[in-house]
Structures are given as structure tokens and as C-alpha cells.
Amino acid sequence: MNYIMTLMLIGVLAITMMAIPIIGNSSVQNAVAQSQSATNQSDSKPPSKNNTNPQVGQVFIFNEKSKAANDPEKCAALASEVSGKAIPDYNLCDIVVYRQAPAITRDDGLVMNNFSGIGHYIEMVPASLNDTKMFMGNSSSGSSGDNTENLKAGFGEFALLDSEVIPVREVMQKYNWTETSLHHHLLGETPKILFLHWSVNGDANELIKQAKEMIMQTSTYDNLTDDSKTPSSAGP
């Protein structure tokens, strides 16, 4: 009996000695994997303020059916014509122009200019569903925007003071833009802001020039020197 017990004890010890290297190797592999994962995660963190090397920011798409912008560079070029912010999204080029002046304040003192909605929106998409050359036309079509190969449908609105409505309307009429509505978005702001909505078809390059001519009838780009806390990054 003692002999059998001795053999069993030796067998258990032998199995234990064989398992130790396997467990050790597995632990090392897990540690290495965790270390690599941590390294990858740290690489994806935003750069510190002291890091002067520019990095490309992450783009988060929340709709799995979303498609990449067709021509973001051209959309940005259009936005630069009106000192605006380009928001390209597949066939859409959305341009926001912030109002710098005057300061639009709510009754509690909140400066509304810091909202993109207190500004001008210019949106363009191909007028034809078969148009795959997004914003690829040139400005040779003339102010009438009759270049059918680069025909864009434009929609949007201008945020205007009372005194700016008529001058902007006159330029819109000159280029045959269609006014679709004029109304308020807010209550209790000072000065009062009216939102003039419109639609138009034409060449993207010509439409953005026309839009700038309309915006130039306003005080949008005026730089303020007092402590108004209105945006300054959107101006020329």
C-alpha cells in the first residue's frame, strides 16, 4: 500500500512540474498582449498641449450607412470664399458663417452669436441625382449659373437685422434667388434677428460669390473691439 501511495505522489509531482512552465508562458503572453493593447490605446489619445506635431483627428460616424464626403477640399474652398466653416457630408456641402456683429444677447445676457444658428447657412447638393462630379465645375458658366454639368441645388438662410433685410433681398432678386420665408427663431433677443430662407439652382462657384455679395450687405464681418464675447474665428 505504501508503495502504491508513493507512486501516486510521484505522479502528481511530475504532472505539477510539467504544468508550471505552461502556466508561466500563458501569463507572459497575456501580459504582453495587455501591454500592446495599452500602447495602442495610448497612441490614440489626443496629443498633449506641449506636443507641437499636428495629428489627424478621429472621425466618428454614428450611422453605419454614412458615406464619405465626395469632395471635402472643394467644400472647404467654397467656405473660404465667405469666411465660413465647411461641413462636407457625402454629396452635401454645408457652410456656416457666424455673425461677429452686432452682439445678439438674450434677456439674461447670454451672447447668442456663439451658436451657429445665429448666422448664415448655405447648403449645396447636386441638382441631378446622376451628377457624380460634386463641385467639380468652373466659374466660366457666368452669373446665371447655367452650367448643367455643375448644376447645384442650394438651400439656406441668412440671419438679418431689420435694416439688412431689404438690401439682401435686392441682391437676391438680382440673381433670381427664391425667398421661401422670413420669420423669427427667437424670443426676447436684442437686437431682433430675422431669418430669411431661400432656394436657388446654379453653379457652385457662382452661387458662393453671390452669397458673399448678399452677406456683404450686413454687419456680419465687423470685428468688435469691446468685450462682447462674440466669435472672432469666423471673420475674414
Instruction: For 152-195, give the DSSP string.
Output: EEEEEEEEE-HHHHHHHHHHHHHTTPEEEEEE---SS-BS--EE
Same domain, 18 and 97: no
Cis ω for the linkage preceding 21 (within 30 of 0): no
List the one residue out of 139, 175, 138 whose CA is nearest residue 154.
Answer: 175
Phi and psi based region of residue 90 (left: phi greater than 0; alpha: psi -120 to 50; beta: remaining): left
Cell of 146: 447655367
* Domain total of the chain: 2
Closest CA relative to residue 210, chosen from 149, 122, 128: 122
Whether residue 101 is found in the same domain as residue 202: yes
* Domain match, 23 and 108 both: no
Q: Answer yes or no: are the C-beta atoms of 69 and 75 closer than 8 Å.
A: yes
Q: Are residues 16 and 88 in the same domain?
A: no
207 lies in some domain: yes
Report d(CA 225, CA 229) in Å as an integer.
10
Query: Hey, how many other C-beta atoms are within 10 angstroms of the C-beta on 224?
Result: 16
For residue 159, what is the DSSP state?
E
Which three cell numbers, joined as nine digits, stand for 188? 426676447
pLDDT given for residue 68 in this prediction = 81
Type of residue numbered 138: N
Residue 58 lies in a domain: no
Residues 27 and 97 in one domain: no
All residue ranges of the chain with pLDDT < 70 are 1-62, 129-149, 223-236
**Residue 53 is assigned to a structural domain of this protein:** no
Tell me what pLDDT residue 67 has. 79
122 in the same domain as 16: no
Do 125 and 180 have their domain in common? Answer: yes
Is the separation of the CB atoms in 75 and 86 below 8 Å? yes
How many CA atoms within 13 Å lie on the side-chain side of 140?
4
Percentage of residues in the chain with pLDDT exceeding 70? 58
235 in Cβ contact with 218 (< 8 Å)? no
Based on the fold, state whether residues 1 and 79 are members of the same structural domain. Answer: no
pLDDT at 222: 79
Residue 59: inside a domain: no
Domain range for 121: 72-215
Distance CA 175, CA 162 (A): 21
Instruction: Identify whether residues 76 and 139 lie together within a single domain.
Output: yes
SS3 call for 157: strand
Same domain as 100, residue 17: no
Residue 56 resides in a domain = no
Residues 118 and 206 reside in one and the same domain? yes
Same domain, 1 and 85: no
Domain-embedded: residue 223: no
C-alpha separations of 92 from 44, 57, 117, 183, 228 in Å: 29, 21, 18, 25, 33
Which tens digit of pLDDT belongs to each residue from 8-34? Answer: 666 656 665 655 555 455 544 544 444
The 3-state DSSP class for residue 175 equals coil
Match 498633449 to its residue by C-alpha cell: 48
